[in-house]
Amino acid sequence: MDLKGIAEELVSGCREGREAENLDKLYAKDVVSVEAMDFSGQGREVHGIDAIKGKHAWWADSFEVHSQSVDGPFLHGDAQFAVVFDVDCTEKQSGNRMKTREVGVYHVADGKITREEFFYSD
């Protein structure tokens, strides 16, 4: 799959609730994921597909999502793309409802996502 195909499938999967399915399909086994800060207690940077699956499980266990919009993809050259995520969610433990906005930047090589980086507005 080329960059555009990977980017479009990631966005479609996020819109349709197929994020977990797309992890094995779109991501390299040795992928690196970098957050702006350590939200989950796993550190800002995790390595490998299993660690990213763990991040997804933590999110599902920790938050109730009321709505989500996904804007993009925005292609950059032949090896990167970005996606904007807007999420209205409630932290299950505290009951705090919040709206978040983040930009995900994805790096692609050999037909797989090799690195993802997330940037937050606040």
pTM for the model stands at 0.92
Is the four-CA dihedral 82, 59, 94, 34 of positive or negative sign?
Answer: negative
Q: Higher model confidence: residue 90 or residue 55?
A: 90
Is the four-CA dihedral 23, 37, 63, 74 of positive or negative sign?
Answer: negative
pLDDT on residue 95: 97
Condensed to tens digits (0 to 9), the pLDDT of residues 55-77 reads 899 999 999 999 999 999 999 99
Residue 51 sits in a domain of what CATH number?
A: 3.10.450.50
- Residue type (1 letter), 81: F
Cβ–Cβ under 8 Å, residues 58 and 43? no
Domain that holds residue 105: 3-120
Residue range 80-95: mean pLDDT, rounded = 97
In whole angstroms, give the CA distance from residue 45 to residue 25: 21
Domain tally, the chain: 1
